[in-house]
């Protein structure tokens, strides 16, 4: 069975602070994919990143960076110099390898509030 | 940029009524999904659809639910007899590599 845990229910920071959102996953598959999605107050789900289980290289995209560590089954997400527009719920998700269904299993989400 | 679209954005229905939620996936995508999100909770998988048939479904997706791709572009979710606990945001998604989500339909059952 797959499971994703986001232990931080809510985080509140002041603008320009760095913030890290934690994600821990469980799976018995050797091939899997990890994702982060952003859900702003308007409600849509915005794809941010996908990593596969064979690629532990950390990734940076502008103010966003992701730290994937298989040894601790974690896929953490850091926002540098946070902005008010970063306020949203962030979901980490896991997908098994390339089967035809390949459902996403989501964590509970972390509500990030960035205050001016 | 292509996107997944969903209609209606908000649907209010009475308990026991049938509803059909509609989605237009991205045109070259091969896999289609429905998820739901009860207010304030996580996103939950309902069903996946590939090659004109259900490829996987969750325990939530019972006999009250059905999916269809009637015309090669639309992808629908039908709930035959709605219950109060069906009130949620329903997201359609389609995938080639990544799953891209539609904006959701908020279903309110009264």
Query: Model confidence over A75-95: pLDDT tens digits?
Result: 999 999 999 999 999 999 999
Our CA-based measurement puts residue A72 at a distance from the nearest CA of chain B, in whole angstroms, of 23
Structure tokens at B38: 């009860």
Residue A75: DSSP 8-state = E
- What is the average pLDDT across A85-111? 88
Q: How sure is the predictor about A35, in pLDDT bands with cuts at 50, 70 and 90?
A: very high
Residue of B nearest to A103 (CA): B45
Q: Please enumerate in sequence order all residues whose Cβ is within 8 A of that of A62, keeping only pairs 6 or more positions apart, or say none.
A: none
Distance, CA of A32 to CA of B13 (rounded, Å): 39
pLDDT on residue A101: 61
Distance, CA of A96 to CA of A35 (rounded, Å): 11
Q: How sure is the predictor about B10, in pLDDT bands with cuts at 50, 70 and 90?
A: very high
**3-class DSSP state of A55:** coil
Give the residue numbers in B contacting A (CB under 8 Å), as ranges: 31, 33, 35, 41-45, 48, 50-51, 55-56, 58, 89, 91, 93, 95, 97-104, 106
* Distance, C-alpha B38 to centroid of its chain: 13
């Amino acid at each position: 069975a797959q499971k994703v845990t986001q232990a931080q229910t809510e985080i509140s920071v002041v603008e320009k602070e760095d913030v890290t959102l934690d994600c821990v996953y469980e799976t018995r598959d050797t091939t899997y994919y990890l994702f982060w999605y952003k859900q702003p107050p308007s409600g849509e789900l915005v794809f941010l990143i996908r990593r596969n289980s064979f690629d532990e290289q950390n990734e940076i995209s502008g103010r966003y960076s992701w730290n994937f560590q298989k040894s601790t089954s974690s896929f953490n997400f850091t926002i540098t110099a946070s902005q008010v527009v970063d306020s949203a719920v962030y979901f980490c998700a896991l997908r098994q390898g390339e089967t035809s269904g390949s459902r996403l299993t989501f964590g509970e989400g972390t509500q990030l509030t960035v205050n001016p | 940029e292509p996107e997944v679209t969903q209609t209606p954005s908000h649907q209010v229905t009475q308990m026991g009524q049938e509803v059909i939620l509609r989605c237009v996936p991205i045109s070259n995508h091969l896999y289609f999904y429905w998820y739901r999100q009860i207010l304030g909770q996580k996103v939950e998988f309902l069903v996946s659809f590939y090659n004109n048939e259900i490829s996987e479904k969750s325990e939530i997706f019972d006999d009250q639910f059905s999916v269809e791709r009637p015309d090669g572009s639309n992808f629908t979710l039908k709930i035959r007899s709605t219950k109060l606990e069906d009130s949620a945001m329903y997201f359609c998604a389609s995938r080639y590599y990544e799953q891209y989500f539609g904006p959701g339909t908020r279903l309110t059952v009264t």
